[in-house]
Amino acid sequence: MTDTATPPRETAHPIDRHILERWSPRAFDASPIDEATLLTLFEAARWAPSAYNHQPWRFAYALRGDAHWDAFVSALLPFNAAWAQAASTLVFVLSDQFITLPGKDVPSPATTASFDTGAAWGLLALQAAKLGLHSHAMAGFDHTRAAEVTGADARYRIEAAVAIGRIGDAAQLPDTLRAREFPSPRRALAETAFHGRLG
């Protein structure tokens, strides 16, 4: 386990410990995950708030070794596929970019779809942490290929690929990845939240 050797994250204000302890490793143990556990994560995600309760989020998943797995791995960029293929599941997070507003007959652009879908992803990642799982979102995937393997048409934006599973042995990672296999720090709170105007 890598994270026992890293300094604890600290916070001046007490928050849910899983929010504080959650991080995104690259070493996974290649174990399977049962589908009910995975559905628990999507269950958490779907209770996120969204404008007009549009619920723009969609999740397409492959379970390790199933009929979809190789296709999902193939949609990752090689440097991500190299480590993410040891995850238990791969998920593409998509957002419905169109909404039919109340009183309208035709869809219009859903301007908050990516933001709202991000909220769902945040809750998914937190619920994973609460179940002892780790998740790691990736921007590094082939969007065309990801659309092919998920069957997403132009209505959807593919926001992220996510590897989810149990943490593995960082010693198995290539040197370049092992060197950054620890929880990342954050910008100071005072540079993040501003009373009144941005500093």
The interface with a second copy within residues 31-70 (CB under 8 A) comprises: 35-36, 39-40, 42-49, 51-53, 55, 57-63, 66-68
| Residue 109: CB minimum distance to a second copy, A | 12
**Which residues 6+ apart lie within 8 Å of 156 measured at CB?**
58, 94, 95, 96, 97, 147
| Residue 180: CB minimum distance to a second copy, A | 10
Q: Under the criterion CB under 8 A, does residue 1 sit at the interface with a second copy?
A: no
| Pair 142, 78: CB distance under 8 Å | no
| Pair 33, 164: CB distance under 8 Å | yes
| Residue 176: CB minimum distance to a second copy, A | 12
**Which residues 6+ apart lie within 8 Å of 96 measured at CB?**
54, 56, 57, 58, 110, 113, 155, 156
Q: Under the criterion CB under 8 A, does residue 24 sit at the interface with a second copy?
A: yes
| Residue 184: CB minimum distance to a second copy, A | 5
**SS3 call for 138:** strand
- Interface residue with a second copy among 5, 12, 106, 154 (CB under 8 A) is 12
Q: Under the criterion CB under 8 A, does residue 154 sit at the interface with a second copy?
A: no
Nearer to a second copy, 109 or 171 (CB): 109
Beta partners for residue 91, in sequence order? 61, 162
Nearer to a second copy, 92 or 168 (CB): 92
Place of tokens 């090689």: 78
Site residues for a second copy, 66-105, by CB under 8 A, read 66-68, 93-95
Site residues for a second copy, 167-186, by CB under 8 A, read 184-186
- With CB under 8 A as the contact rule, which of the stretches 26-34, 79-87, 148-156, 167-175 interacts with a second copy? 148-156
Q: Under the criterion CB under 8 A, does residue 117 sit at the interface with a second copy?
A: yes
